[in-house]
Amino acid sequence: MIVELISVGTEILMGNIVNTNSAYLAEKCASLGFSIYYMTTVGDNEERLSEAIKTAIQRADIVLLSGGLGPTMDDITKETVAKVCDLELVEDLRSREHIQEYFAKRQLTNITHNNWKQAFIPKGATVIDNPNGTANGMIVKTGECHIILLPGPPNELKAMVEQSVLPYLTTLQDAVFYTSMVKISGLGESFVEDKLSDLIAKQTNPTIAPYAKEGEVHIRVTAKGKDEKEAKELVKPVVHEIHKRLGNFIFTDDENVTLEQNVIELLEKHELKICTVESCTGGLLAGRLVNVAGASEVFKQGFITYSNKAKRKLVDVKKATLKEYGAVSPQTAKEMAKGAALLYNADVALSITGIAGPDGGSEEKPVGLVYIGCYINNHVFAKEFHFTGERSKVRESSVANALSLLRHSIIEYYEGGFKQEI
């Protein structure tokens, strides 16, 4: 089965937003064993959109459209699909109720007339519920081609794909596919690829594909079988081999498990309470830990000590340390972590202090210099990092590496360390 993606939105053509939906949808399609030959992005323009849709219908069995289902006048995806397929738009009562409930739930009263536009669907279309917004999706069958319309906002699109679209696509796929996502922290992509190059080179079934993420590498292992059992059996030995080579640098084989989740689980397992102290990341590290529902078991409090005074008053960094070595130094990072752990009796504390830029850099301490401090098992240490990219990138890298550093420290101190010579 051939899938074609069409992203609709002038804001993509203007470069206002990066098209992450396409990568997400492509990854999902690959995991189901569908092939994508073309991705197209087109603006909110009826003539060009309908041309793109007609072309895709000719080339593909499934056309996935994202964007242009909003309430405003320039949202025309649904209308254009209806025209191309020669279907009239009819009001879908369930969608109308959905909009009503959505506004009621948020205690919003000003439902403007253009909101009701979202209750209309091409006649005969199957509605895809949207748990996160007013724009329901829909499936339109034309000839042998399945056209699937989804809204543009990633949180809406993803929820609908997980909940409705993947199950539907699975019914269109004769074979069954099983995927394991082996996630690695603390190793670079090219290093991981090198370690697995022979496996990747001779891949057939299962297929093996590496994905580079911030501070992580994910290896997707997907096998095709006549049933799930057969597909699973094909995946198992490959995942086993990857584990043999990368050991506990791997933190999960489960697509849905995040690094912060793994870290929280490790802290729970060893009954360690953690406290965070952040300067340049300003709360993003704590923010990622709190991503994990139930983090409250091990994470009680965190501090953003952005000023020197806050570093002194809140986590007991010595005035002399700040004076002698500066706020961005291994000494300060260590005192931040140790001070927080001792003051607020945490077993583990992570601290981040650095120069995120664009200003504040110097010859000796350039933009991108970050120290991550860690207090664990009555030891305290700080590690130096040099990150590249703009301010937000430096901060994101700092958080990812802090989580990775903590995971490795827990493994070193509480799980007998790493077995591999890497």
Of 319 and 379, which has the nearer Cβ to a second copy?
Answer: 319
Binding mask 158-177 for a second copy (x = CB under 8 A): -x------------------
Residues 1, 45, 142, 414: which binds a second copy (CB under 8 A)? 45
Tokens 């640098």 found at: 249
Choose the stretch contacting a second copy; rule: CB under 8 A; options: 81-89, 129-137, 243-251, 403-411: 129-137
Residues 93, 107, 240, 363: which binds a second copy (CB under 8 A)? 107
Which residues inside 208-267 make contact with a second copy, applying CB under 8 A?
Answer: 209-212, 218, 220
Of 208 and 411, which has the nearer Cβ to a second copy?
Answer: 208
Q: Which two tokens stand for residue 220?
A: 């997707």
Q: Is 252 helix (H, G, I), strand (E, B) or coil?
A: strand
Residues 236, 304, 325, 414: which binds a second copy (CB under 8 A)? 304
CA angle 151, 157, 159 (to 5 degrees): 140
Q: Write the DSSP symbol of residue 344.
A: T
Residues 376, 387, 398, 411: which binds a second copy (CB under 8 A)? 387
Of 20 and 420, which has the nearer Cβ to a second copy?
Answer: 20
- Beta bridge pairs of residue 85: none
Told to check if 25 binds a second copy by CB under 8 A, we report: yes
Question: Cβ 124 to a second copy, closest distance in Å?
Answer: 27
Residues 170, 294, 324, 415: which binds a second copy (CB under 8 A)? 294
Question: Cβ 70 to a second copy, closest distance in Å?
Answer: 7
Q: Which two tokens stand for residue 250?
A: 């791997």
Q: Assess contact for 253 and 180: CB atoms under 8 A.
A: yes
Of 90 and 159, which has the nearer Cβ to a second copy?
Answer: 159
Question: Cβ 107 to a second copy, closest distance in Å?
Answer: 6
Residues near 89 by beta carbon (within 8 Å), at least 6 away in sequence: 78, 79, 82, 120, 121, 122, 123
The DSSP line for 96-154 is: HHHHHHHHHHTT-----HHHHGGGEEETTPEEE--TTSS--EEEEEETTEEEEEE-SSH
Q: Which two tokens stand for residue 373?
A: 């401090």
Q: Assess contact for 34 and 173: CB atoms under 8 A.
A: yes
Question: Cβ 114 to a second copy, closest distance in Å?
Answer: 5
Of 211 and 413, which has the nearer Cβ to a second copy?
Answer: 211
Question: Cβ 86 to a second copy, closest distance in Å?
Answer: 24
Residue 103 and residue 114: Cα distance in Å, rounded?
Answer: 14
- Beta bridge pairs of residue 158: none
Which residues inside 325-364 make contact with a second copy, applying CB under 8 A?
Answer: 356-360
Binding mask 185-214 for a second copy (x = CB under 8 A): ---xxxx-xx--x--xx-------xxxx--
Of 358 and 417, which has the nearer Cβ to a second copy?
Answer: 358
The DSSP line for 389-412 is: SSHHHHHHHHHHHHHHHHHHHHHH
